[in-house]
Chains A and B, each alone.
Chain A
Amino acid sequence: MNPVLNSALNTTINPGMAPVATPFFFYLLAGLAIAGGVLVITRRNSVHSALALIGTLLSVAGLYLMLYAPFVAAAQIIVYAGGIMVLFLFVIMLVNIERVSKERRFNRIWPAGVSAACGLMALFVFAFVKGKALFPDRLMTLRESSNTQEIATMLYGERGKMGQYSFGQYTFTFEIASLLLLVAILGAVIMTKKKM
């Protein structure tokens, strides 16, 4: 058997003491995230949409913290809520014309769009129901612990693997990502320039 699977099964059979407030915070953050998502796609004013999206991103960052992923949560807040959303707000400021907020919000074929999305949701439900066999319940249970050493391992992997991954095993991918960012910066500058 796969060693990773084996260790996951062993640890979930003997779970440690579970934190008390976890379900409450999960439902709070999940509710905020989904409510923000609904506001993003229904608000008439795009600034309100952007603010709702910031709320969703921060709630998702909270969910990352609950999943013992502090680095991803920090990157989410810094890059998304700090960087990308400021870019969005600047563009809204540059292109927001009065006419847009008085027009219809949804296009003419919105029933088709909504039914396609419902079909996608049905596909997800089908996959989840069928996937129960693939991921048994004892595997889906998330391991909790009150042991400091174990919590540190869950947070950072063994011996701080996160940095090892991004500069060791994934060095090439990392370089490709920086190249992608460079190309995106150049593209954005060149496309927004008035005269070539």
Chain B
Amino acid sequence: MVPITTFHYLVVAAALFVLGVIGVLTRRNVVIVLMSIELILNAVNLNLVAFSRMWGNLNGQVFSIFITVDAAAEAAAGLGILIAFFRNKETINVDEIDLLKW
């Protein structure tokens, strides 16, 4: 069997990233759009950790921890906005979020 190289991890991360982009661009449910963003951030983390392992250097792992913190902050703020929006318009559909459009 072929040994697993950094390239294999990069391919998995690229696939997860593209799936996340498809979710952000095509779904109408805001909750699922936010989940797709989490997928994208995870793909980036996987890349960072794989490169960190390749170089034998822990800087990439520390950076991925900071990205996890960032994802938590983003989820909290995004879901707060979502609840405030739901209270005003009774919908969580991306197509109907057009308060700033005229």
Name the A residues within 8 Å of B91 (CB-CB): 97, 99-100
Q: Is the interface of B mostly helix, strand, loop or mixed?
A: helix
In the complex, the chain B residue whose C-beta lies closest to that of A162 is B58
Complex CA–CA separation, A135 to B22 (angstroms)? 29
* A181 and B69 form a contact (CB under 8 A): yes
Q: Which of A41, A95, A170 contacts B86 (CB 8 A)?
A: A95
In the complex, the chain B residue whose C-beta lies closest to that of A165 is B62
* A120 and B56 form a contact (CB under 8 A): no
* B68 and A76 form a contact (CB under 8 A): yes
Closest chain-A Cβ to B44's Cβ sits at a distance in Å of 11
Query: Is A104 part of the binding interface, using a Cβ–Cβ cutoff of 8 Å?
Result: yes
Instruction: Bits for A174-190, please: 1 = Cβ < 8 Å to B, else 0.
Output: 00010011011101111
* A120 and B27 form a contact (CB under 8 A): no
Closest chain-A Cβ to B53's Cβ sits at a distance in Å of 5
Interface set of A (CB-CB < 8 Å, partner B): 4-5, 7-8, 11, 18, 22-23, 26, 30, 33-34, 37-38, 40-41, 46, 49-50, 53, 56-57, 60, 63-64, 66-69, 71-72, 75-76, 79-80, 83-84, 87-88, 91-92, 94-95, 97, 99-100, 103-108, 110, 112-114, 116-117, 120-121, 124, 128, 135, 137, 139-143, 154, 157, 161-162, 165-166, 170, 173, 177, 180-181, 183-185, 187-192, 194
